[in-house]
Amino acid sequence: METSLIILKPDAVQRGLMGQIIARFEQKGLRFVGMKFMMVPLEIAEKHYAEHKGKPFYDGLIQFVTSSPVLVLAIRGIDAVSVCRKLIGATNGRKAEPGTIRGDFGMSGGFNMIHGSDSPESAERELALWFDAAELVEYDRTIEKWVYDPSDL
């Protein structure tokens, strides 16, 4: 099992899309193990997007993500990191495939509604940045025996 760090960004919250976006991950069969609604402290935003520091869109990105609340999620499943990235779609909503979250709900490159970890290594780093270990909830979800074939495990 992998856990991905997902953020519903300020535009998703303000546009009233949280429920529809969360539903896509639920319908897929993924398990929610962490969830928090918050204003993003500047230091967290800067650490989260450290790889983009110096790029032309960086200042606007930090301003955007700290401007209004976000919903931060930890989502678990087999290959959860790549599965979530596929559900999310390409960075720019105008280029993202229909059927993806960005492809169905967005028209922007910057206001693209959602963040998802891009590798298992990024997921580890981001989960540690956004959640304390005690905030990730360990529990059995019995329906998963109908989500995964035993031979997947």
Among positions 98-137, residues that touch Mg ion (CB under 5 A) are 118
List the structure tokens of 6.
């997902």
User: Which residues lie below 8 Å from residue 141, measured CB to CB, with a gap of 6+?
Assistant: 31
Identify residue 27 by its one-letter amino acid code: Q
The residue (of 95 and 145) whose beta carbon lies closer to ligand DAT is 95
List the structure tokens of 126.
């981001």
CA distances from 40 to 25, 29, 44, 129 (A): 23, 28, 7, 12
115 is catalytic: yes
Helices (H), 1-153: 10-14, 18-28, 42-48, 58-65, 80-88, 101-105, 120-130
Q: Which of 24, 31, 76, 115 is the catalytic position?
A: 115
- Please report how close the Cβ of residue 114 comes to Mg ion at its closest, in angstroms: 11
Interacting residue with ligand DAT among 2, 46, 104, 118 (CB under 6 A): 118
The residue (of 91 and 141) whose beta carbon lies closer to ligand DAT is 91
- Please report how close the Cβ of residue 118 comes to Mg ion at its closest, in angstroms: 5
Task: Please report, as ranges, the residues that interact with Mg ion according to CB under 5 A.
Answer: 118
Q: Which sequence positions are flagged as catalytic?
A: 115
Task: Please report, as ranges, the residues that interact with ligand DAT according to CB under 6 A.
Answer: 52, 57, 61, 91, 109-110, 112, 115, 118
